[in-house]
Amino acid sequence: MTHMKLSRFFRSFQYAAQGIYAAIQKEQNIRFHLLAAVVVVLSGWLTGLSKTEWLIVILLIGGMLAFELVNTAMERVVDLASPELHPLAKQAKDMAAGAVLVFAVASAIIGLLIFIPKWF
């Protein structure tokens, strides 16, 4: 990789980090998901998970945080494109929120399926 390409790669990385930082600062939902992630990782550590179970848990935590970031980005774009109330703006925001909810429910079910047999 040439010097130019490498610095562009690191700049993109920096922009992504800025996006994550802004989301954490401004969105309570993201902070809640981060807290939930810490609780799940600590529980997994105390409970003792297999390698495969950790892979699933990490995938679900990463997917959840990524989904929440995409949802936040969608909200920003909708607010920018449609500051006034519009039925399509509502649909876009509500569908993105629905996507987060679907993944959260699936993650919670999978999490319970992994943890509950180990606790009882």
Ligand X SMILES: Nc1ncnc2c1ncn2[C@@H]1O[C@H](COP(=O)(O)OP(=O)(O)OP(=O)(O)O)[C@@H](O)[C@H]1O
> Closest Cα to residue 103, out of 56, 68, 53?
68
Q: Does 118 bind ligand X (CB under 6 A)?
A: no
> Which one, 93 or 115, has the nearer CB to ligand X?
93
What does the alpha-carbon distance between residue 68 and residue 60 come to, in Å, rounded to a whole number?
12
Residue type at 92 in one-letter notation: A
Please check if 112 is assigned to a binding site.
Answer: no
Q: Which stretch binds ligand X (CB under 6 A): 11-19, 39-47, 64-72, 81-89?
A: 81-89
What does the alpha-carbon distance between residue 83 and residue 1 come to, in Å, rounded to a whole number?
43
What does the alpha-carbon distance between residue 21 and residue 10 come to, in Å, rounded to a whole number?
16
Tell me which of 14, 90, 106, 118 binds ligand X, using CB under 6 A: 90
Binding site for ligand X (CB under 6 A): 75, 82, 85-86, 89-90, 93-94
- Residues marked as catalytic: 68
